[in-house]
Structure 1
């Protein structure tokens, strides 16, 4: 069964991005074991991102200028970006811009995952929408030994249950 997983990192004081929506703070700490991430990715069929996360990754990793880096990070998995506008796509990447409610788009995500998991990469608001819709099965939270004075926290969401049933 396809699971929907929000796997993210946070600072000690609960921020997931700094005041510029940057994750630079995360790369200043020692990364987790590479094999753990590779094992996680092996079970992922689809990635889901909000436009802020997607644009940050494009900019930070210069993926439009260096599209060959895309498969190094994401493989050939489809990436769905929730947005209300058109966004640039690295050459050769399977990026699908979608809009609407999570429940409306979810069947497309599930079909594209082909029995594997759906990874909600970010941001916090998008993960909150999945939670509110009852479509979030698991939250993997990694606490990094860092603190920020300001920034973005994961969106506080109303409790709707512990995920999908059935």
Structure 2
């Protein structure tokens, strides 16, 4: 979790949008990511789109729950690079740093970053002038099992 953001890779596409720091804003962020990925040639229902949607849902929910500052939005940035899809969610609170904690046995609590950690090849947090950015990366190439049990690598996007 120490990879610096924006490492030297070939930029393919970028999507950036601000959302209200509300549950509705978090849902909209996930939906727009799926629409944008479809436009980039990564249709909904593919492993990359599914994983990206889940990452955005978790990171946006955390921004709304833990990073909310009244009157401030959160920002989503999705970057398609050669070999990797990078998702960044920025909020206005630098005092609340994300951390993976032991599971909390209350329903709906404590699993967001565990999901991010399980899906992403790497993730981390960096400070901004105001607030912080939590980022995660997914590989663009996924291994699919074809009929007959044979594997094949596909570039999805």
TM-score computed with the length of structure 1 as normaliser? 0.28
Instruction: Compare the two structures and name the one with the higher strand fraction.
Output: 2
TM-score computed with the length of structure 2 as normaliser? 0.29
